[in-house]
Amino acid sequence: MVARLLRVFRRLGIPGMVALLVVATAPTALARTPEPGALPAGTLTVVDLAVEPTQPAVGDVATVRFSVRDAHGAPVSGLSVTAELRAPAARYGADPAPILTAIGQALDTPGAYEVAVALNQAGRWWIDLEVADPLGRTATASQFVVVAPTLGTPPATTATPLFLRSDAWGAYYRLDPATGSLATLSGQVVLSAAGHWWVAGTRLVAQGPVTPAYGGTWHLSVELRDGLTGQPLPTVDLGDIRASVNVGSADQPAISTSLALAPDGSRLYLYWARQLGEGWMSHVAVADPASGAILLQRELQGAVVADVVWGSLTVSDDGAQLVLAERATQAPDRSGYRLTVLEAATLATVAQHRRIGAPDDPLTACILPYPGPTGPIPGDAPRRYSLCNPEGIPGQPSLVIWDPIDGTVRHQVTLDEVAGEAPFYVDGVASPDGVHFYAVNTATRRVLELDMQRGAVLRSSSLAPGPDRRPSTFNRFVDWIFGLVVPSASAGVLIEPGVTIAPDGRELYPA
């Protein structure tokens, strides 16, 4: 399987290391005779091993409880506990490598321990336990489990999951960082508001013939899914749209879309632009996400003449305004943008700036940024941030703070310190309160923390592990970075390299 390996997820500022508990496709396997119970080694013995639930299904987190005794039958405390999930022995060759590793914790009862193992895939699995004391004495035990399949997406095991973009288009992983429970949801974007998450995507279905000369008609709809339960929500139907096909394409529609959500989750904002001939016409609509009903819509005045138009719709921190950033390209020397600020309640235009043929304007590259994100900065004055290449030259990332009302750049902070010799791996994320920005090089693990109000660098750090750094037992995680810490652990999960932040802003997770 061609895959970009999952690299590492780490806490910022925590000396110990944190990793994901993930699952990959298991090989065809034959079950060996189950051997539950104690397998003594040295002077330690694992006893009273029990797994709950006894009949697990995909999405469950198995709790493995057991006790450890010494040669005299006395309880032994202060041990490290590791659990690995692996497939049974393959038809040929040695046992498959584990696809999940977890760190256990001690219970209040002397000599008693537990470890949580996320069961993300149906099938037959071995849970292999190992306990060790500071002197290097160990004991192992194994428990065979059969994980039943489930229909649809299992519900989340936490109210504050992380959503990680898959390498596959239109898919996200939902991860519980406390247990490693992992589920896949279909969608192009994750929207969050008021402590809840939605996975959304636009769907275009051709209605009749499509030709390069005359284009065609497509039916546009927005599909929503509850990010916690995985259940589908009412579809937002935007009707049929007449459009040309993309330049150089035979049947792909020249239609650009973007979605945004009100901070309280009560309104879904939709943008779409379509090309007819040489001009692109843009539209904005407001919908009720609970019912799928269209509440208001309008067409923006004036067409944009371009070969390609990309659009991004975002909502201000207070929910009062929409910021629509459109980037247009007609030729290498004809790049430009249109920036429109709208009242969220009425869709009336508050301000608009339009510059075509402005490749040297930093906002041409930064209102719709690459490689990183863009978003609002809280405060009395309207400000936005973008991680981008303001000079239009790949490999020269900066954090740009700009004003959408007057269309000016207020701060531009170069990120050479974090870019180093791997500038194409720079990504970033804003803290949930919008005060700080973390620029992360996912290749070198360098991190910069920036104050977005002042456009200043606050501190720098490195998340790369030292050669003598041991895995932390914090939150029952074990770190594995390409096998440097736990050589037998590996993953084939397809996750887009990048960085995300915990909902409470306390943990930074680069991948």
Residue 93 CB: number of other CB atoms within 10 A?
8
Distance CA 271, CA 347 (A): 12
Residue 102 has pLDDT above 70, yes or no: yes
Q: For tokens 């059969």, what's the residue?
A: 146
The whole-number pLDDT of residue 94 equals 66
With 60 as the cut, is the pLDDT of residue 387 above it?
Answer: yes
| Gap between the Cα atoms of 128 and 107, Å rounded | 19
Of 330, 285, 321, nearest to 303 (Cα)? Answer: 330
Residue type, 137: R
Q: How far apart are the first and last CA of the chain?
A: 19
Q: Which residues contact 468 (CB under 8 A, 6 or more apart)?
A: none
Q: Does pLDDT of 8 surpass 60? A: no
Least confident of 82-96, 233-247, 353-367: 82-96
d(CA 252, CA 244): 9
**Tokens linked to 386:** 């973008």
Tokens of 266: 């009560």
N residues, the chain = 511
Q: How does pLDDT run across 179-223, given as a tens digit for each residue?
A: 888 888 999 999 998 889 999 999 999 999 999 999 999 999 999
CA-nearest of 104, 95, 108 to 129 is 104
Closest CA to 491 of 474, 472, 473, 511: 511
Q: Mean pLDDT, to the nearest integer, of 118-143?
A: 92
Asked if residue 36 has pLDDT above 60, the reply is no
Q: List the single range of 27-31, 43-47, 92-96 with lowest mean pLDDT.
A: 27-31
**Residue 382 pLDDT level (bands cut at 50, 70, 90):** confident
Decide the pairing of beta strands 398-403 and 408-414.
antiparallel
Q: Which helix (H) or strand (E) holds 363?
A: helix 362-366
- Angle, alpha carbons 124-129-133 (nearest 5°): 175
Mark 9-33 as b/e (b = at least 16 C-beta within 10 Å).
bbbbeeebbbbbbbbbebeebeeee
Q: Does residue 439 carry a pLDDT above 50?
A: yes
Band (151; pLDDT cuts 50, 70, 90):
confident
- Pairing between strand 456-462 and 446-451? antiparallel
Let me know: does 49 contact 114? Beta carbons within 8 Å: no
Q: Where is mean pLDDT largest: 12-16, 23-27, 78-82, 162-166?
A: 78-82
The answer to pTM > 0.85 is no
The mean pLDDT of the chain is 81
Strand, helix or coil for residue 420: coil
Give the range among 225-229, 366-370, 428-432, 468-472 with minimum mean pLDDT: 468-472
Give me 335's structure tokens.
């790049």
Pair 296, 283: CB distance under 8 Å? no
The set of residues, in sequence order, having a beta carbon less than 8 Å from that of 358 and lying 6+ positions away, is 335, 336, 337, 364
Q: Which 8-state DSSP code applies to residue 362?
A: H
Query: pLDDT value at position 472?
Result: 33
d(CA 141, CA 161): 31
pLDDT at 197: 93
Instruction: Please name each of the domains of the chain with its CATH number.
Output: 38-147 (2.60.40.10)
Residue type, 1: M
Quick check: 172 and 187 in contact, CB under 8 A? Answer: yes
Q: 359 phi and psi, to 5 degrees?
A: -65, -20
What's the pLDDT at 201?
A: 93
Rounded Cα distance, 382 and 377, in Å: 7
CA atoms within 13 A on the CB side of 428: 33
Apex CA 354: angle with CA 351 and CA 355, to 5°? 150
CA–CA separation, 485 vs 91, rounded Å? 29
Mean pLDDT of the region 112-119: 94
Give the rounded percent of residues in the chain with a pLDDT score beyond 90. Answer: 46
Give the pLDDT band (50/70/90) at residue 231.
very high
Q: Residue 18: pLDDT above 80?
A: no
Predicted local distance difference test score (pLDDT) of residue 394: 79
* Predicted local distance difference test score (pLDDT) of residue 373: 85
**Backbone Cα Rg of the chain:** 26
Residue with tokens 């497939």: 87
The more confident residue out of 494 and 92 is 92
- 12 or 250: whose pLDDT is higher? 250
Distance CA 330, CA 336 (A): 9
